[in-house]
Structure formats: C-alpha cells, structure tokens
A = this chain, B = another copy of it.
Amino acid sequence: MIDLSNSFIFPKGNPAEGANFKGEVWQERLIPMQSEWNCPMGNVTFAPSARNSWHSHPGGQILLVTGGCGWYQEEGKPAQEICAGDVVKIPANVKHWHGAAKDSWLVHIYIVTNPQAGSCEWMEPVLDEEYDAL
C-alpha cells in the first residue's frame, strides 16, 4: 500500500473533527468559503477505511482524485471505485458519500460549485455493514 499519510501534492492540513467522518481524515482549505473567486475548494486525505457520512450539496461538487483509491456512492446506486486521475461530478442535491478503500489511502481536491446555493447538508453515517460489504 502506498503511504499517503503525509498527503500527496497539496497540504494535508488538520484532522477533520466531528460526527461527519469515520476514521482518520485530514482537511486543508485551499480557497476560503468567501472570496472573490466564489469557488471554495480544499484538499482531503482519508486513511484506509476512513470515509465521510452521507451528505448532499445544494449546488453540487467536483472531486479531483489526486492520490490513492477509494469509493464514491450515490444513494440507490452501487459504489464506484475512484482512483487518482478520476474526476467525480456530484450533481446538486444528490445524497452520497466518499472515502478510502480498506487497503488504500485516498486524497482528493473538492471544489464547491454554485456556492451561492447554500451549504452542505450532512446526514447519517455510512453503516459498517454497508462499508464492509464493498
């Protein structure tokens, strides 16, 4: 397994805290929420098996996977494997989660699109039995 514990290319940032993450996750903001660019973005590093909770974005989001492999799943659909070089296009208001594979780190840039539509809505965690079945 490639060790991406010091992240990959962009800064690793600080541990992500709170109930919206399971496992070890780090985040670094690259472009702030409010700026003349109107395009918040950041870098997220997931340790193996780490993931976020189900959530949705009222204006959508783009993920640029810069390192490792993991999962992206929209509600009601099978989880898709995502790896470095993949571009994930998350439509507005689609409930989804993303995170690392069991045997890989995952590093991605996120870009909040149409930020004027509002903030991310966080929902319930991905159950261990759902994740473990992948």
Q: Which chain A residues have a beta carbon within 8 Å of chain B's beta carbons?
A: 9-11, 30-31, 35-39, 41, 60, 62, 64, 66, 84-85, 87, 89, 91-92, 109, 111, 113-114
Contacts and interface: CB of A to CB of B under 8 A. Distances in A.
A66 to B, nearest CB: 6
Nearest to A37: B113
Contacts of A111: 39, 41, 111
Copies in the complex: 2
12 contacts: A9-B66, A9-B85, A30-B64, A30-B87, A35-B89, A36-B91, A37-B62, A37-B89, A37-B114, A39-B62, A39-B111, A64-B109
B92 A36 contact: yes
